[in-house]
Structure formats: C-alpha cells, structure tokens
Amino acid sequence: MAVRRQGPSPLLALPALIFFGVFAIIPLFVALYLSFTKWSGLGSPTWVGFDNWGTLFSTPDTFRSFGLTLLLMGLSWVFQTPISILLGVFLSGHQRYREIFAVIYFVPLLLSSAAIGIAFRNLLDPNFGLFASPGLEWLNLGWLGNPDLAFYAIVFIISWQFIPFHTLLYQGGARQVPQSLYEAAALDGAGRMAQFFSITLPQLRYTIVTSTTLMLIGALTYFDIIFILTQGGPGDATRILPVDMYLTGFVGNQMGLASTIAIVLVLFGMLVSLTISKLSGFTRMESQLDGE
C-alpha cells in the first residue's frame, strides 16, 4: 500500500501558481523576447537579434547607470542597517514611552512613495521649502538640482522611507532572543555594550541576512520615488537602471532596449539574492535558540 501523503493537497497552490505565472513568469518571457526586437510600442516588433544587447554593453551610460545602482545599494545598506538595528533593539525593550517613540518612528511606513516624493520635493524646494526659512539658509544647497548632491539626497530619502520597515524586522528579531542569555551574561559581569555585541548582534544574524537581502534587492527596484523627485536627473546623476529602463521604454519609446535592461536587472537581482543566501548559510536555517 502506498504511503499516504501528509499535509494539504498541492492543488491548493494552484491559484497562486496561476497568478504568479500570468503576472510574473509570462511577462518575463515576453520581455526576454522583446529584448531581441526593436519596437516603438506601435505596430509589430522587428527581430534584431543581439543588437540591443550590443548597444547596451557598448554605451558608457549603461555602465554609469549600473554603477549608480550598485552605489545606491551599498550606500543605502550602510546608512539603513546600523540605524535600523539600534532602533529595533531599542524598541524591543520595555522602556517607558517606548510606544510613543514607536508610533513616531513608524509614520513613514504608512505613507506611499508618491506622497513621500512629493513631500520631499516641496520640503527641498530652494525658494519655498524648509531650508528657505530664516536661519537654515546654509542648508539651502538646491539638494535635488545639484548633480553632486542629488544622489545623496535620494539615499537619505529612501532610507527615511524604509528604515521603519527594517526597524520592525529587527524589533521582532530582538524580541526572539532568549532572556536567559542576557541573565547568564549579566551574572558573568557583562555590561550593556558587551551584551549588545556578544548576544544581541550574533542572535540577530538571520534577521540581518533577511533585511540585507530585502534592502539590496529593493535597491534594484527603486523607481517611483526617484522618478517623482528627479526623473533621473539632474543630467543623469540619479539615473539608476530601473529609471533608465522606464525612460528608455516609455519616454524614448525603445521597448526592445528597455526590455534588455529589464532582463539584466532580473538576472542581477537573482545573482545577488543567491549569493547572499549562499554566503550567509541562510539556506541551512540553523538555530541557536534553546531546545532546537
């Protein structure tokens, strides 16, 4: 007699699979096809073989966009991670007024990217914005219009938007750390700093991996907020690959070339996420908790 299969029927996954197939897999293959064609969005695509790929890898602009994308990934990780860990660990405690701080910190999480973009646009307006007020003029550097500063302004705004989310992850992670570890450390005479570096941080290891993956992959898809703030400008100072893809496809009407950029983004995103999970041992999912 056959072994009776455990758990729910795999057919239950079907609706999700159909949804995923229709809205993710099929468009992906269509984009792959379009990357070998020249198409303005009107009429039928013409097959051009590897022309788009040749164009893409022979223009310096592509490498500049790719470099900016990497820089955005790196900088937003460096900026967001320490702040998110500190806030998350702080909020996982039981201090007085903690809830009030928590509510304040989480506000950006409730706002849509479009709202954040428009709000910062107005805040940073050189004539009518925040820094145009008396006493703050020294900060009025035309943040979004200066090619040397716009990129860093974008990193700050993106971080402002996403730190609350990662704080939430770290708060959850820190709450999972068994209290017994801290008690034992306290008996051994470890201070707060020592406890943070020897217990909290190592215990948050997998949370860091999750958060890092989300941040790095997220950086590959930032589009809305940059589009609203600078449209990739000034010049091409903030034209990261996703913005480049949109402008090429929907403003320049070069759907084939834009699809090529899309495929590059997909491949690179897969590479990044596989590398992180390999390097971190995330796939093995070991636990250091009691009794497991």
Partner 1 sequence: MSRPSWRATAATALAIGVALGTIGCSSDSTGASGSGVSVWTTSGTESVLMTSQEQHNAEEGSVPLDVQVYENDPYKTKLRTAISAGQGPTVFSGWGGGGLAAYVEAGEVESLQAAFDAAPELRDRIFPSVLAGGTIDGEIYGTPYNGVQPVVIYYNENVFADNGVKVPETWDETMDAVAAFKAEGITPFSIGGAGRWPYLMWIAYLTDRIGGPEVFDAVVAGEEGAWEDPAIVTAASMIQDLVEAGGFGDGFSSVDPNQGAPEALVYTGRAAMQLQGAWGYSSAYLSGDPEFVEDGLGWTTFPSVEGGLGDPSNVTGNLSAFFSVSSKADAETKKAATDWLVNGVFDDDYIDGLIGIGAVPPVSGIEDKIAAAPAADWNTFVYKTAQNAGNFQLSWDQAISPEEAEVLLTNLEKLFLLEITPDEFASNMNAAA
Task: Kindly state the number of chain residues that form the binding site for partner 1, as judged by CB under 8 A.
Answer: 42
Could you say which residues in the range 135-174 bind partner 1, by CB under 8 A?
Answer: 140-147
- Under the binding rule (CB under 8 A), the answer on residue 253 touching partner 1 is yes
> Which listed residue (198, 231, 273, 280) binds partner 1 by CB under 8 A?
231
Considering only 94, 107, 110, 127, the residue that binds partner 1 (CB under 8 A) is 127
Query: Residue 46 pairs with which residues in a beta bridge?
Result: 38
41: which DSSP letter? S
Distance between CA 188 and CA 79 in Å, rounded?
34
Q: Considering only residues 25, 251, 270, 289, which one is a binding residue for partner 1 as defined by CB under 8 A?
A: 251
SS3 165: helix
Instruction: Count CB neighbours of 207 within 10 A.
Output: 20
**Closest separation in Å from C-beta 76 to partner 1:** 22
Distance between CA atoms of residues 9 and 156, nearest Å = 47
Q: Taking CB under 8 A as the rule, does residue 233 contact partner 1?
A: yes
By the rule CB under 8 A, 55 interacts with partner 1: no
State in angstroms the smallest separation of the CB of 264 from partner 1.
Answer: 19
273: buried, middle or exposed (CB in 10 Å: 19+, 13-18, 0-12)? middle
The nearest distance, CB 147 to partner 1, in angstroms, is: 6
Tell me if 130 contacts partner 1 by CB under 8 A.
no
The yes or no reply on residue 54 touching partner 1 (CB under 8 A) is: no
**265 vs 188: CA distance, rounded Å:** 50
Quick one: which of 200, 178, 202, 198 has its CA closest to 190? Answer: 198
Phi-psi region of 282 (alpha: psi -120 to 50; beta: other; left: phi over 0): alpha
Q: Which is nearer to partner 1, 126 or 178 (CB)?
A: 126
Nearest distance in Å: CB 39, partner 1: 9
Joined together, the tokens standing for residue 35 give 């990357």
Q: Does the protein bind partner 1 through residue 203 (CB under 8 A)?
A: no
SS3 (DSSP) at 38? strand
Nearer to partner 1, 14 or 78 (CB): 14
Residues engaged in binding partner 1 (CB under 8 A): 8-9, 11-12, 14-15, 18-19, 22, 40-43, 121-122, 124-128, 140-147, 230-236, 247-248, 250-254
